Every structure is written in structure tokens, then in C-alpha cells.
Amino acid sequence: MSVQVFYKNKANSNNYVLFVEEGFKIKGIKKHISNAEFTYINDLLKTSDLKKNLLVFEVSSKKKIILISIKKNLKTSDIESLGAEFYGYINYGKKSEYTLNTDSINSTVENFIGYFLHGLKLKSYEFNIYKSKKNIRLILINIIGKRNKLTIKNEIRFKAIEAGTFFARDLVSEPPNVLNPREYTNRLLKLKKLGIKVTTYNEAQLKKLGMHSLLGVGRGSINESFLVTLEWNGNKKDKKSPLSFVGKGVCFDTGGISLKPAKFMEEMKYDMAGSAVVAGLIQTLAIRKAKVNAVGVVGLVENMPGGNAQRPGDIVKAYNGKTIEVLNTDAEGRLVLADALSFTEKKFKPKFMIDLATLTGAIIIALGEEYAGLFSNNEELSKKLFNVGEKVKEKVWRLPLHENYDKLMNSPIADIQNINYSGGAGSITAAQFLQRFVTNKTPWAHLDIAGMAFSKKAANLNPGGATGFGVRLLNQLIEEHYE
Ligand code: BES
Ligand code: MN
Ligand code: ZN
């Protein structure tokens, strides 16, 4: 990591960071700087854009004063965003040091500095292990004033979320020649050291279980398919009905025989992001020792064309006994999730099931990079997800399910077909397909994160690339409602 935070209680830096009231009202910082500096800044402010969150003043050739404006009624997520924005200003040079004066913080939000540094750290993520010349950067943050280290509450919570998010981002960023299903499984096995129970199923075992829907997707690849379960049992008193999270782990999606076009196909290494978020979330729960029982289930496959690949027109039998006519081998995520969902429901009898998947291009058309699509058979779970999403700025928007959409998935010769040729609504019909593999008694929510899992551009707490979208959302859901 390139950012280090430490606490010296002495300002010895040339970069001095102060917090001011909304609109850069600087009266409050008079006591922290010299009269000359105050006058200098006061003059410059007359021609500055006071709507900004952050302004930098070079008060001398050696000293910069950075003012961060604290708007009224700031929420914790706004403070995280401020920390991330601050990182944007300090992310240059080989080595730099910033002194952050916490006595200038005029906010009633508890744990202000904890949230600020959390946002900063999430934004500072880099994936550089394949660069032979690394851009090594050391940013030291010296916290001074009364809101010192001891006042940061739940530091372990922040660390756990950062680690889980970074784990997810790392997995998503890995190239597909490295992170095949076997290598992925091996990395998940390492989570055992955190007290997570990891169980792996290879192709022979999946065949015995009857997971031919998942297996059909991996048939064209020389890389073996796996299903992995990750169990975190932090609530020893109530062992039954864990919360469950199911992830699409297509390590690379060429489309199979229904081959994708070449342009941007490389982005399909991200097609395992749903599973990476599930793994990151379970890791977060383990690190912060969450008092909850949760299980993550991920289906890990590679969707390739090849002599042994499944064909459009094939019929496969899923784990729950239903037959599926595979009309398009590129609608493979739902085939993987179908088995993973019905297996999870039967084996763990969960309190709820939430699946995450980069499932459809259509959800990007509908919601872009702003909201994940939410589909659910349960009002309460939907509301909870919506609310925690707004809170942590990992937003979800509910789209409908309806029996008329469901009918579009009927196959003339099997129980169900994996795409609909007429009727549009590509993201909804994908969700309808999934719902056929959930018995209606289990509250279930499907998050289509195709637009959220990665982004070429940086936004809020993401530096660009893999986002880890979903770790913070689901961690918040658990904290607020299930612990
Ligand atoms: N992994 C893709 C969906 C996707 C597309 C994710 C673009 C991220 C960016 C999925 O497996 C897929 O190929 N879906 C098809 C479904 C279609 C064949 C019904 C799609 O969306 O085109
Ligand atoms: Mn596909
Ligand atoms: Zn896919």
C-alpha cells in the first residue's frame, strides 16, 4: 500500500490540511495558521470557486495549506467521498507528507476521521503486480489534534471492509490466464486461516451431485470447473438458517459457441466479479468477527468454444431436476447460478439468498454505471437493500418480475430455455430464469452488477478498474439488520 497513516501530534509537514465550514468560511482556522497566511488565503478566496470541496493554497515556496470544506449535514458516506477526493489531490510524487489538523473539524459526526481515512484508503487501491517498473509512492498522513487515533472507533471494521474490497478487486483484476477456476479455488482455500470453512467441489463431485447446468458451461474449456462454499459461523448460538450469498464466477466469458465479437472481449475477465464480491464479503465478516452465520457459494467456470463445448440447442438437466434448452451459450451466467442457487437453498436452508452476477449487457443499457439492478420475490429484503445502498452509495434499483415475463422462458421441448427471442427485457427475463431455481419460500434477491463491477473511469471511492461493488452494500445490510 502506498498510503501510510501515523500520529505524531506535531505538525512538521509542509502540507497542512485544515477543515473549514461550508463555503470556505475560514474564521475557525485563524488560530491554526499565521496572520500572514490568513490574510493571503482570505484574499485569494475572493476569486476562488467556493462551491468546491477542496482548495489548495501555496502560501510559500515551501508550504501548502489545503482547505477542505465541510458542508452542513454531512453524512458518513459524504465524509468517505471527501477522503477519496483528498486522495486525488495528494496522489503524485514519490514521497510526500501531509499533516491533518483534526482540531479544525467542526462536525458532529462521530468518527469523522475514521470515515475520512476509510474513503481515502479505498480510493488509493492499485493493482500493479504485473508492472515491472512500479510507480512506488509513499504518502504519509500525520494526524494531529484531539481527534487522534484513539478516537477512531471500530478501526477493525474499516480494515475489514478495506481488505474484503481489495480482495475482490484483486481477483477481478487478475488476467484470465492466471485466475482460472483452479487457481481461484486455491486462493479461496487460503481463507481458511481466517476461520472460514472452505469446501470445494471438483467436476467429478459436481457430476455426482447432478449439476449439469453449471458443468455444461465449462465443457468447452480445458480448465476444470469448481463450486466452492465459504462458511463463516460467527454466531455460535443459532446455527441454523445462515444468510447466503451466491456469486457468478465465469473466469472468462468468450460466449462459447455463440461467440462474442472481438472488440472489448478482454473485459470478460471481469465476468467473475459477482463471485469475487461474495468472497470479499465473507472475508470482511471473518476479519471483523461478525456475530452472524453466513455462507458464500461461488460457481467457477470458464466459458470457451471448443470441440467439447456445449452447442446451441443442447438440453441439460439442472441440479433441481429441471431440463434447460440452451439456445445461446453466451447466456451462461444464469446456467451457473441456476445450479448454485438450488444447491444453496437445499443444502443450507438459508434465511435469504442474495446472488450477484455480471449477468446482462441489458442492465448497462437500463441503469448504466449508477445503479445495480435488483430483482426480488420479497418486499422487505428489497427495501432493506435499497436503503443500505443509498447509505453507502452502492445503489440498487428494483425492476419488476412478472409471470408474463416468466412465460417468455418456456421452451417448447424442455422445461425452460436460457434466452427469450421475443419480448425484450433482457435483464428481467434473465432474472425470471433464475427465479425458476428458487422455491418461492426463500426470500431471494438478484443483483445484476454488470454495470457496476468495473469501470474504465474513476468514481467516488473507486480508482478505476475493478470496484468491488457489493462488499460495502452487503456488509452494511448485515450490520444493520442481522447482527
Ligand atoms: N457476461 C455477460 C454479460 C455482460 C455483458 C457483462 C457486458 C458485462 C458487460 C453475459 O454472460 C452475457 O453474455 N449475456 C448476454 C445474454 C444474451 C445472450 C441473452 C448479453 O447480455 O448479451
Ligand atoms: Mn455470456
Ligand atoms: Zn457472462
Residue 410 in this model has a pLDDT that exceeds 60: yes
Tens digits of residue pLDDT in 240-289:
899 999 999 999 999 999 999 999 999 999 999 999 999 999 999 999 99
Residue 150 in this model has a pLDDT that exceeds 60: no
Q: Which pLDDT value is given to residue 138? A: 84
Q: How far away, in angstroms, is 357 Cα from ligand 2 center?
A: 11
333 lines ligand 1 (CB under 6 A): yes
Residue 5 in this model has a pLDDT that exceeds 90: no
The region that residue 432 occupies, defined by phi over 0 for left and psi between -120 and 50 for alpha, beta otherwise, is alpha
Least confident piece of the model among 11-25, 145-159, 248-262, 431-445: 145-159
CA dihedral 269, 271, 272, 278 (to 10 degrees): 140
Chain centroid to Cα 105, Å, comes to: 30
Report, as an integer, the average pLDDT of 37-58. 95
Nine-digit cell string for 130: 504485473
Least confident piece of the model among 3-7, 185-189, 387-391: 3-7
330 lines ligand 1 (CB under 6 A): yes
**Structural domains in the chain, sorted by start:** 2-150 (3.40.220.10), 157-481 (3.40.630.10)
Question: Beta strands of 54-184 (E only): which ranges?
Answer: 54-58, 64-70, 95-101, 138-144
pLDDT > 90 in the chain, percent = 86
Residue 52 in this model has a pLDDT that exceeds 80: yes
Report, as an integer, the average pLDDT of 223-243. 94
Residue 101: count of CB within 10 angstroms of its CB = 20
Least confident piece of the model among 38-52, 147-161, 409-423: 147-161
Active site residues: 260, 334
**Closest ligand, as measured to the CA of 423:** 1
**Which of 360, 369, 455, when mutated, tests ligand 1's pocket best, judged by the most ligand atoms within 8 Å of its CB?**
360
Q: How far away, in angstroms, is 210 Cα from ligand 3 center?
A: 22
Report, as an integer, the average pLDDT of 334-360. 98
The residue among 4 and 206 whose pLDDT is bigger is 206
Q: Which pLDDT value is given to residue 146? A: 78
User: What is the band of 148 on the pLDDT scale with cuts at 50, 70, 90?
Assistant: low
Residue type, 352: F
Residue 136 in this model has a pLDDT that exceeds 90: no
From residue 259, alpha-carbon distances to 205, 313, 324, 327 in Å are 29, 15, 20, 13
Q: Which pLDDT value is given to residue 470? A: 98
Of ligand 1's listed atoms, the one at least distance from the Cα of 260 is: 13
Residue 151 in this model has a pLDDT that exceeds 70: no
**Which of 303, 328, 330, 363, when mutated, tests ligand 1's pocket best, judged by the most ligand atoms within 8 Å of its CB?**
330
Q: Which pLDDT value is given to residue 168? A: 98
Q: Which pLDDT value is given to residue 10? A: 64
Q: Which pLDDT value is given to residue 7? A: 61
CB–CB of 299/251 below 8 Å? no
Residue 270 neighbours by CB under 8 Å, 6+ apart? 172, 358, 453, 454, 466
Is residue 481 exposed (0-12), middle (13-18) or buried (19+ Cβ within 10 Å)? middle
The residue among 110 and 471 whose pLDDT is bigger is 471
426 lines ligand 1 (CB under 6 A): yes
Of ligand 1's listed atoms, the one at least distance from the Cα of 271 is: 1
User: What is the band of 6 on the pLDDT scale with cuts at 50, 70, 90?
Assistant: low
What residue spans of 174-272 are helical by DSSP H?
181-189, 203-209, 212-218
Report, as an integer, the average pLDDT of 322-326. 98
Q: How far away, in angstroms, is 448 Cα from ligand 1 center?
A: 11
455 lines ligand 1 (CB under 6 A): no
